[in-house]
A and B are shown apart, each in its own frame.
Chain A
Amino acid sequence: MVTSMYDCIRVDSMDTATIERCVTRAEQLQVDVCFLSTTYSHKTDLDTVHSQIQDIDTNITLKLGAIVKRDKAQPMTKAVKSAREHADMVMVAGGNLVVQSHACRMPEVDVIDTPYAGRKDSGMDHVLAQTATANNVAIGVHFNDVQYSYGKRRLFTLTHIRTLVALCQKYQTPYICYSLATSPWEMHSPRDMAALLNITGMSVQEALHAVIDYPEAITERSETVNLQDFVRPGIRRESS
């Protein structure tokens, strides 16, 4: 069976040449599918990225990702529904517990990105983990968060990841690991990124799900969720 390795990079305010360099680096690092994510404020953000990647000649599959960053639940819900129609992956920036708890209840959300961002705890508890599992919302672990932090901050980040790993194992919550690189020098091989989850308490097989199986499920699901008659996972509106 052929398995595809996934990664996600951040292309906010990147010019076409830099995106091209990132894509070439992704090819070198054995990435098969690459999500090019941008902070979502309006549909035009995704259109800009889409126009930039159209002329790139590459062997890997490029997909669009939207990062929704809002302080309150209501604007987040609105932005997610809007982004869902245009993006292949919708990520909600973590850190705010109210926003996160709403995001866990939305089947339109694919990933909650770094729930521990700017917090003194992991940002997820057993209730949120169970809700996320029910709605197939994955927890995103950001490799460069560990790489680009030092001392106390790195220790806390690893501790939070360890807590998230334990929750994901107990409640079968999906999880993914990505670099969210902003330059070609920040990119990593997906197999090496899975080693982060391995050292924080997962087996090698479980860690590999984070870069192979769960991102693949997200791409498959995004095709279903973007359909007009979609209501919830497993429920479709009957056409009259």
Chain B
Amino acid sequence: MKLNLLPPTMREKQRYIVIRIISDAPVPYTDFTKALQKLCTQLFGEVTTATMKLWVIKNLYDAENGKAVVKVQHGYVEMLRFCISMVRHIEKQPVVLAVEGVTGTVKSAQNKYGVPQQS
């Protein structure tokens, strides 16, 4: 049995952060997710990270072109921005992460920042 969708007034607002990954070799999805979640927990603690509802969208993750879309709860964008800029290494590989933009829907993230839909 599937749960019903919450009414619009009870749904929490989300923001989609488009991230650019600059590295010598492509970074796998799992490594990126682990690194971001680990750093977020280290910086803000488990309670705040849980409230942030951090989620790296898998079908929008483009390892070859170095692009990722991260979903976060509205109001925690600056915290996540700080987290993203604090990442230095992913699996011993030096990386630079930079936020390209913040959008309110996945569709506008795809249109504005050219994030391709992965299969």
Chain A positions near chain B (C-beta within 8 angstroms): 25, 28-30, 143, 146-148, 184-185, 187-189, 191-193, 195-196, 198-199, 204
Interface size on B, residues (CB 8 A): 15
Docked Cα-Cα span, A110 to B28, in Å, equals 43
10 A–B contact pairs at CB < 8 A?
A28-B20, A147-B88, A184-B96, A188-B96, A188-B98, A192-B82, A195-B78, A195-B81, A198-B78, A199-B82
| Interface of chain A, main secondary structure | helix
Q: Which residues of B sit under 8 angstroms from A188, Cβ to Cβ?
A: 85, 96, 98
- Tell yes or no: B86 within 8 A of A by CB: yes
Closest A residue to B83 using CB positions: A195
B68 to chain A, nearest CB (A): 15
With beta carbons under 8 angstroms apart, the residue of B22, B85, B88 that contacts A195 is: B85
State whether A147 touches B86 (Cβ < 8 A).
yes
Chain B positions 87 through 117: 1 when the CB is less than 8 Å from some CB of chain A, otherwise 0: 0100000111011000000000000000000
| Chain B residues, CB < 8 A from A185 | 88, 94-96
A195/B82 in contact, CB under 8 A: yes
A25 to B20, CA, bound (A): 12
Q: Which residues of A contact B94 (CB under 8 A)?
A: 185
A192, B85: Cα distance in complex, Å: 6
